[in-house]
């Protein structure tokens, strides 16, 4: 298997995009920085599958971990609180 673009422990930024249609990346993490926590493998793209397309090419899927207080202005959590979200590689860029 080819090496992945991102490695566990690497800081990444979620692209701040708002395309129309079925999008699997939560708006509250777009433009935010997190850390790759886990690599899951390659899967069909659900953003294409939602429209009856093949979902190909396969996309790399990661768990990205964010500090909860970095996501919202009102600081809803304790400093140690984290949120992990599955995000496909095409939504990520190096931080």
Q: What is the pLDDT of residue 73?
A: 85
15-31 pLDDT tens trace? 999 998 889 999 999 99
Residue 4 in any domain: the answer is no
Q: Are residues 47 and 74 in contact, defined by beta-carbon separation less than 8 angstroms?
A: no
Residue 22 counted as domain residue: yes
| Number of independent structural domains in the chain | 1
- Residue 5 resides in a domain: no
* Residue 31 included in any domain: yes
Read off the pLDDT of residues 29-82 as tens digits, 9 standing for 90 and up: 999 999 999 999 999 999 999 999 999 999 999 999 999 999 988 888 888 999
**Residues with Cβ < 8 Å from 3, sequence gap 6 or more?**
none
φ, ψ of residue 57 to 5 degrees: the values are -75, 160
The pLDDT confidence band at residue 2, using thresholds 50, 70 and 90, is low
Q: Is 6 within the bounds of a domain?
A: no
Length of the chain: 95
pLDDT, residue 10, reads: 98
Domain-embedded: residue 63: yes
CATH number at 30 reads 2.30.30.50
**Does a structural domain hold residue 3?**
no
Nearest to 25 by CA among 86, 73, 94, 84: 86
Q: What is the residue range of 79's domain?
A: 11-94
């Amino acid at each position: 298997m080819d090496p992945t673009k991102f490695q566990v422990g690497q800081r990444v930024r979620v692209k701040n995009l708002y395309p129309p249609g079925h999008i699997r990346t939560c708006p509250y993490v777009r433009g935010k920085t997190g850390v790759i926590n886990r690599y899951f493998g390659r899967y069909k793209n659900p953003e294409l599958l939602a429209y009856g397309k093949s979902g190909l090419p396969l996309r790399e899927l990661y768990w990205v971990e964010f500090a909860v207080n970095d996501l919202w202005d009102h600081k809803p959590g304790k400093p140690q609180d984290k949120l992990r979200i599955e995000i496909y590689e095409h939504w990520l860029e190096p931080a």
